[in-house]
């Protein structure tokens, strides 16, 4: 399951942003989440507003050997990706935009093939932000990226600790 969320960075670095004449207030994190365990398998962070059609396939490409299927919302729909990901022998379930008969048929097929498991990525985001906060404390962007990866690593550890 691939999806994206935003983390607020203006709380800890407002002075730094003003001093550098920057106005970026969020960091976008695109994650790959396992639908069975809700574990976050991979994280891609960016400060610029990189579109999901660029960040999502990058995360999937890095982990293509370990995946069987990819489920994502229509923000990840891109014709390049539709032809590239099946070459990795992945079941590519992405909600299609529009109301054309082909898109409606494809979306109906996705609904029967467990597309509804997409909510699990949102659950991992919600759990992480509620337990550890949605704001970043580091001042520098590379440390903020590390902080986001650490947040999801702690989320994964908490998931396995409760099962023991």
Domains in the chain: boundaries? 2-162
Alpha helices in the chain (DSSP H): 14-19, 52-62, 79-84, 101-112, 119-132, 141-163
- Please report the pLDDT score of residue 147 as a whole number: 92
Global confidence as pTM: 0.75
pLDDT value, residue 4 = 82
Please report the pLDDT score of residue 14 as a whole number.
64
Ranges under pLDDT 70 in the chain: 1, 10-17, 20-24, 79-80, 113-118, 162-164
Q: What is the pLDDT of residue 149?
A: 92
Query: What pLDDT, on a 0 to 100 scale, did the predictor assign at position 153?
Result: 93
Q: What is the pLDDT of residue 146?
A: 93
Cα–Cα dist 66/90, whole Å: 10
């Amino acid at each position: 399951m691939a999806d994206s969320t935003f983390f607020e960075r203006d709380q800890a670095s407002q002075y730094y942003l003003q001093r550098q004449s920057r106005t970026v207030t969020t960091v976008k994190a695109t994650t790959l989440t396992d639908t069975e365990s809700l574990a976050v398998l991979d994280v891609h962070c960016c400060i610029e507003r990189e579109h999901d059609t660029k960040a999502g396939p990058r995360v999937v490409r890095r982990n293509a050997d370990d995946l069987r299927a990819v489920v994502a919302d229509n923000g990840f729909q891109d014709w390049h990706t539709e032809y590239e990901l099946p070459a990795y022998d992945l079941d590519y379930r992405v909600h299609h935009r529009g109301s054309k008969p082909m898109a409606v048929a494809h979306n109906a097929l996705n609904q029967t093939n467990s597309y509804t498991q997409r909510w699990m990525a949102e659950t991992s985001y919600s759990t992480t932000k509620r337990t550890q906060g949605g704001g970043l404390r580091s001042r520098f962007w590379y440390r903020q990226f590390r902080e986001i990866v650490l947040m999801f690593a702690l989320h994964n550890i908490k998931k396995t600790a409760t099962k023991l």
